[in-house]
Amino acid sequence: MSSYARLRSTALELFASRGFQATGIRELAAASGISLATLYHYMDGKEDLLVRLMRESLGRLIDDARTVLAKVNSPVEGLAALTIMHVLAHGLRRTQTVVVDTELRSLGKENRDIIVALRDEYEELWRLQLAGGSASGTMTVPDARVTRLALLEMCTGVAYWYSDTGELGLDQVATIHADLVLAQVEARQEQGRIRLTDLDLPPITWFRELVLCEE
């Protein structure tokens, strides 16, 4: 494992647990097993490191979302698939996603704009599913924006409370969330209410591999 790879994961770990501001650059160096000055070979500054990590993480999320959407045939399927991917990503790549979610306020204006743009790009993919479902009458969405934000907050929250050591596996948590989301938008077909099991999605292991894939 290279110095930079160690730095990367150490930084995510520390930023996610202590917070960006509370993480000293010396801690970072020590925990990464490199010297303080060497740290500056790998980054231009503390904020630059942060923004890089956030871009990588959000970029990955967007890529995965696109991969997932390429496999579906309807807004309802798209919404369910995004939910599963999102929950798995927030459980399996917890540190990354927490940092993105938490440390926007630690960025200067310029960097914040960059990250917000990426976040918007990601949320747009969710918006499209809700809009599509609403238009085709397969979802009931009281308010498009509020619903989208509510769903996202709910699914993102997994990163904060999920623990490997609990009774429930992450796959189940993801499945439950997909069902909650479908319930929330009252997803239906001609036959009536749709549950996750009614959909023709790739198996959860496929999602898991996608999300865990190192590159």
Partner DNA sequence: GATGAATGAGACTTCATTCAT
Partner DNA sequence: CATGAATGAAGTCTCATTCAT
Q: What are the residues binding DNA (CB under 7 A)?
A: 3, 23-27, 34-42, 44-47
The first and second tokens of residue 50, run together, are 């942060």
Partner in contact with 156, chosen from DNA, its own copies, none, beta carbon below 5 to 8 Å by kind = its own copies
How many residues lie near its own copies (CB under 8 A)? Answer: 36
DSSP 8-state secondary structure symbol assigned to residue 193: E
Q: Over the range 133-167, which residues count as b (16 or more CB within 10 Å of their CB) and which as e? A: bbeeebbebeeeeebbeebbebbbebbeebeeeee
Partner in contact with 160, chosen from its own copies, DNA, none, beta carbon below 5 to 8 Å by kind = its own copies
Identify which range of 25-33, 69-77, 154-162, 203-211 contacts its own copies by CB under 8 A.
154-162
Please enumerate in sequence order all residues whose Cβ is within 8 A of that of 44, keeping only pairs 6 or more positions apart, or say none: none
* Contact call for residue 184 and its own copies (CB under 8 A): yes
Q: Rounded to whole angstroms, how far apart are CA atoms 35 and 30?
A: 7
CA 138 to chain centre: 25
Q: Rounded to whole angstroms, how far apart are CA atoms 51 and 159?
A: 20
* Contact call for residue 183 and its own copies (CB under 8 A): yes
Place of tokens 């369910």: 80
Q: According to DSSP H, which parts of 73-169 are helical? A: 75-92, 94-102, 109-136, 144-156, 158-161
Candidates 157, 171, 198, 204; binder of its own copies (CB under 8 A) is: 157
The dihedrals phi and psi of 109, each to the nearest 5 degrees, come to -55, -45
* Contact call for residue 152 and its own copies (CB under 8 A): yes
Minimal distance, residue 173 CB to its own copies, in Å: 6
* Contact call for residue 47 and its own copies (CB under 8 A): no
* Contact call for residue 144 and its own copies (CB under 8 A): no
Identify which range of 53-61, 107-115, 151-159, 197-205 contacts its own copies by CB under 8 A.
151-159
Q: Rounded to whole angstroms, how far apart are CA atoms 31 and 25?
A: 10
Q: Rounded to whole angstroms, how far apart are CA atoms 212 and 92?
A: 7
Partner in contact with 153, chosen from DNA, its own copies, none, beta carbon below 5 to 8 Å by kind = its own copies
Candidates 102, 125, 127, 134; binder of its own copies (CB under 8 A) is: 102
Largest interatomic CA distance in the chain? 65
Nearer to its own copies by Cβ, of 110 and 214: the residue is 110
Which residues in this chain contact its own copies in the complex, by CB under 8 A?
Answer: 17-19, 21-22, 102, 105-106, 142-143, 145-147, 149-158, 160-161, 168, 172-173, 176-177, 179-180, 183-186
